[in-house]
Amino acid sequence: MSELWANYWPVILIALVIGLIVGFLIFRPKQRVTLSREEAPVRPHMAASAVPAAVAPPAPQPPAPQPPARRAPSPHDSDGGGEGEGIADEAAAAVSDIAGEIIGAPVHSHLPGSQGVPDNLQRMKGVGPKLAALLNSRGLVRYEQIAALSPEDVERIDADLGAFRGRLVRDRIVEQAGYLSRGDMGGYEAQFGKL
């Protein structure tokens, strides 16, 4: 027996340590969690501050149909769009600026008015779903952005529009966007007809 111990003592010691660890994991005291009437977990150390159990649960009500909830703008939201105001948005904008300059792509800093809720570009005459998607993919999502395009910007964007080449000038998209960005519906309808 002593010869067995002398030859295999490291293996026996390792097996003993593993057995103690497994035994502790299996037989350790587990924390019990019970639910209160408010469906929040109450752990033993929280029992002193638990809500009294005498509160009866309310009768179940059928859910009423609700309109889609819109998030209220935060007090720090400068334009009501709810975007571009957080740390993650600022980091994404910084990466976009740097990457855009490296690869030579237009980035949001070159597009005035890119903050805020996107406008429905399809309201303009001559802009359908495909052209609106092409404009959105180039960062043009609001009327005021399109209205602020210079003739050079229009030429550069128009060259990338493929089958829609020439539509920005022919359908006077920049002029339409100018009226819509100002909210001048009377002027728009006088120039381009009913919306």
Domain assignment present for residue 97? The answer is yes
Torsion of CA 131, 135, 138, 139, to 10 degrees: -150
Which residue ranges of the chain lie beneath pLDDT 70?
33-94, 96-101, 104-115
The reply to whether the predicted model has a pTM over 0.75 is no
Domain end point (choices 90, 110, 130): 110
Whether residue 128 is contained in a domain is answered as yes
Residue 140 belongs to a domain: yes
Give the pairing of strands 34-35 and 41-42: antiparallel
The pLDDT tens digits for 45-60 are 655 554 454 455 555 6
Q: Which domain holds residue 176?
A: 119-192
Count of structural domains, the chain: 2
38 to each of 51, 130, 166, how far by Cα in Å?
8, 50, 62
Q: 104 and 140: one domain? A: no
What is the structure's pLDDT at 50?
Answer: 47
Same domain, 101 and 150: no
Q: Burial, 115: exposed, middle or buried (Cβ in 10 Å; 0-12, 13-18, 19+)? A: buried
pLDDT at 5 (0 to 100) = 78
Cα–Cα dist 55/35, whole Å: 14
Same domain? For 97 and 145 the reply is: no
**Residue 152 and residue 95 share a domain:** no
